Amino acid sequence: MNTEITTILSPAKININLKVLSKRTDGYHNIKSRFQLIDLCDEITFKLTQDKDVIVNLGFELESNERNVVYDIASEIRVINKIKSGVHIDISKNIPLGAGLGGGSSNAASTIVVLNYLWKLGMTKNQMIEFGKNYGADIPFFIYGKNAIAEGIGEKLTACKSLNDDMLLIYPNIHSSTGEMFSELSYPLALKNNISNDFMNIFLEKHDEVREFVNKNNQININLSGTGSSMFIKYHSEKELQKLLKIIPDKWRFFTVKPLQYSPLEELF
């Protein structure tokens, strides 16, 4: 067997808006959200090997309660398809963890798509989406590969136009737990509020420094992505960007990002 190596960019997303409609009996939630791909990406290299091992190198140690979903997915794909080779997966992380940017889900989606390609499994995009949704509600979107309105748990996707705006992405060095944020959501309140993201007020209540930052800059349209912790601000000129950069606290991270029309994974279909 010839060794094959594929390197792919695994993009982040932001939620332009996010409404939670109800809790389901399966533990997931029905949502409606507009997902936008952005050019902040992890880089993942897949190398097929002649041994039978699945090895994932993240470049850092996972917390004891965190699941390595890339390893789980690669292992299951290998077993159910009776693949005789192994795969070594190296992930170079640029997307912050627990930031509401879908980095882990994007990596998981990339793993499904690339292994389908390298191992010549013949799964259709819809089959990959069905497989991926068992591992996370955002994974179907990243396999879908286009900007979309997401409904259901996030697996019902309708293509939509891309944003044209450049954005300043602000990461306040907070790991926000999706499960914890959903557990604190008040559904009647969520249905009635007029803010674009139902988790904004909950997130601000939990984090004093972020609440002070948002309140101090209330003349600026600051948006939360996902369940936090990243926030984004659209801007339209270098002068405007320079003004925005001055308001970011010293210890926080930031990225200037552009919208993507399509995922880099689209080249593998």
Q: Looking at 13, 19, 42, 198, which residue is catalytic?
A: 13
Determine how many CB atoms are found less than 10 A away from the CB of residue 88.
18
208 is catalytic: no
Q: Looking at 42, 133, 138, 198, which residue is catalytic?
A: 138
72 is catalytic: no
Q: Is the dihedral of CA 263, 264, 267, 269 positive or negative?
A: negative
DSSP reduced 3-state for 196: coil
CA distance 5 to 145: 22
Q: Give me the half-sphere count of Cα atoms (radius 13 Å) on the Cβ side of residue 252.
A: 20
CA distance 54 to 22: 38
- The residue count of the chain comes to 269
CA distance 199 to 263: 26
Residue type, 110: S
Q: Are 214 and 205 in contact (CB under 8 A)?
A: no
User: What positions carry a catalytic annotation?
Assistant: 13, 138
